[in-house]
Structure 1
């Protein structure tokens, strides 16, 4: 795979003060960085760049050896950078992700931002999907983004490769990088699986040092292994490419219960082989969609101001209170360890039913309905509810027709919910808030000892324990009773 010619220009350098109107729009549209994180106070800066080049398309060949189909297709895309303002505070680790087709969301940033800032890591998001670029160009800010040209149609592999090359060559302003972690969640997790399996990750002398594939099942039909071009045939479910192997850099797959239901045929052993360093982490009590504090899309306020507010899809059940993001932060640290040659911990896998069973009943569960096996999170080890990786929609979908969440049934299939234990049963198992806190703390400490939780995040979990118990044990408290009005 020969490198293509690309160039980088600054989109006005550092952006306007965070949360203020974009000066070039002429309208009262908030800046794209509605982050719930004070970047200025954290001594971080946010910059935008325009990446231009000529991309091509690829067709499926032998595993790891796609064939060039077309070339010379011009593109111009937006690259968003968040980095320490001083190189003295920077680790040299840069997390790069293709931004999600649902509202151009940076899901790694959503989950990891507080931790990345604590560490001093940088983050880079790349717009690779044409519908998002069109929305930015035509509606959000034509003056600023009028030059965007994101063709899609299978060019995203080259566009992402060029963006990674720009990071590797330190071509994005003052950003300096020594190790690149490529990550994606859900649809972009599948992009990362294909990017790794088809050899793009190690092309051009090595574009990335490690890959995190988060909440993406290799067995989820076309979604689990997107074709290289939209008109290509879906890779067969039995194709070995759907199981990550022999990538040449460390790869972690981090799955919730939702994706694990369809991932059984793609399971493989963990490995410390330098050419095939691999870990699978399955998080008990986790779901594809969880409503973490402060979580929202990078473009949320700007999209809302342009008439594309994301109101979520209401569920009939109570929404999960899982905090998988806190575990994922530690697992990303373990991936950096693996890049640096330090073995990462191994984790128990989920227990699967045998035979031909529906996907929704693929995982074995205890008498309460909670999953068996996997990383034992404290909300499962000291359970006050039965956690399910699906919900039932109570209203229609949200967002433009081309976004994944526009289909309410699809959104509900991915949304985590929970059914509370009866208050009397809660009090029988945990007679007091202190008794519950002790059990919850013990489970949290076990994750710390296994290096699957960070000390900075353990305190946040433990502090939630008394409130969890008081809500669950209160006979008069209906806050966890399923309600048609409960929203995402």
Structure 2
């Protein structure tokens, strides 16, 4: 009898152990639902130090005429309780209160909405939030919405100082107990949940998201890499696909497709991961990590919101004019189709390297291989991804216009030059690396130029 009782007790104990282990083995943890408040009053640039909230405006509010194109810009507070993770994927905190902001640029009319939302992890390398991947022309013509998420301490701290009235209550550190951006991964995930499955106030207003994509550039891509590789396997997915731009990309193979787009600056070794059914990598010859397009767009905003635009003294004339943003626009379109239809994007030739590990270049100094836009394949200037000098110069690439003798040697007539631009762009459109609207922009620029005249 005693032996029977002992076996029964042992069985009961094992059953209790299994039941107690069930919650930990129940699968990935759900992402908590945050609270969304807004839109925050004040949508036009005014005095960011005003004591009246309505007289403030979103930091780095876009100067692009959104209203003319049927778009609106709004800002929201996002708050809740987030879990903390270290860069190795260890959970270091749970249910830590936070409060941050979302910037939303979207169609005003639901009939113009594509259903796709590009959610950008705001870059803070410069010490403040930077919407590095905001591309007004491509976003608007596609009918997408763009949302910027302030997930990191550096950016939020700068916002608090820039306008205490508007941002003084923001905190992503758990009252300074977690200053290593441990909460950033869950905050970014909760932002995606608020967009994909809203309750109460929706950041998209009356629009309904169909495809929510996560995008991040440079340092933000690195943070998203940690999230994808280390955190995402332990939590339920929110984003349908990921775009890692001019930065690292995950090594883990997950169900959510991953698209990596690199400028020439970012390609430093011939060793590369292979493309798979869930991963694509494109490399843009002649492009810079931070090229001319972004610098020109941000300069007036920096003057308005920071008092001045930075001036750099680099070893070579800075800011490549190869439009990497044209390639990222094509990549987003492929990523959208990849998620919705399961159609992988086209592959692309990588940038070429010499046997000694240096980048292979032609007689003009242009990189060989890679995605070759007409600015590289039909060049009027030396555009590279390399530079040196102070501060961020190494990220700017170079732009050195050819002299007249070089141009005359390359192009005998203006019509011949324009024809070559068109031929290259047609090849890139057919290959899927360039969208027709951007090819048309290149054609207009070629027609206006004096090359070959």
TM-score, scaled relative to structure 2:
0.83
Identify the residue that residue 29 of structure 2 maps to in structure 1: 2
1:204 to partner: Cα distance: 4.3
1:160 to 171, 188, 200: 188
Q: Mind listing any 5+ residue stretches in structure 1 that lack a counterpart?
A: 219-242, 394-407, 475-488
Q: Secondary structure in 2 aligned to 1:32? A: coil
Q: Secondary structure in 1 aligned to 2:338? A: helix
Does the 8 Å CA contact 1:93/1:121 hold for their aligned counterparts? yes
How far apart are the structure 2 equivalents of 1:113 and 1:365?
A: 33
1:169 aligns with 2:197: yes
Does the 8 Å CA contact 1:24/1:144 hold for their aligned counterparts? no
Please give the residue correspondences for 1:35-434 in structure 2 after superposition, counting only pairs within 5 Å.
Answer: 35-59=62-86, 66-101=89-124, 102=126, 103-109=128-134, 112-138=135-161, 140-151=162-173, 152-153=179-180, 154-171=182-199, 172-173=202-203, 174=205, 175-200=207-232, 204-217=235-248, 244-262=251-269, 264-265=270-271, 267-272=272-277, 277-292=278-293, 295-296=297-298, 300=302, 303-304=305-306, 307=307, 309-319=308-318, 320-340=320-340, 341-355=342-356, 357=357, 362-393=358-389, 408-409=390-391, 411-434=392-415
**Structure with the greater relative contact order (CA < 8 A, sep ≥ 6): 1 or 2?**
1
Report which of the two structures shows the higher radius of gyration computed on alpha carbons: 2
Q: Secondary structure in 2 aligned to 1:337? A: helix
- Structure in which a larger fraction of residues adopt helix: 2
Q: What are the Cα deviations for residues 82-139 of structure 1, in whole angstroms up to 9, with x where unaligned?
A: 2212222212111111111033111121xx221211122111111112122122112x
1:22 to partner: Cα distance: 5.8
How far apart are the structure 1 equivalents of 2:30 and 2:311?
A: 41
1:299 to partner: Cα distance: 6.3
How far apart are the structure 2 equivalents of 1:177 and 1:95?
A: 10
Q: Secondary structure in 1 aligned to 2:133? A: helix
1:431 to partner: Cα distance: 1.3
Does the 8 Å CA contact 1:436/1:466 hold for their aligned counterparts? no
Q: Secondary structure in 2 aligned to 1:77? A: strand
Q: What are the Cα deviations for residues 302-343 of structure 1, in whole angstroms up to 9, with x where unaligned?
A: 532xx4x33242435334222121222111111111112223
1:78 to partner: Cα distance: 0.8
**CA-atom RMSD in angstroms:** 2.6
Does the 8 Å CA contact 1:18/1:33 hold for their aligned counterparts? no
1:16 aligns with 2:42: yes
Cα separation, partners in 2 of 1:468 and 1:216, compared to 1, 3 Å: farther
Q: What are the Cα deviations for residues 4-62 of structure 1, in whole angstroms up to 9, with x where unaligned?
A: 64432324x2643533456954598665354232222222222222111222322465x
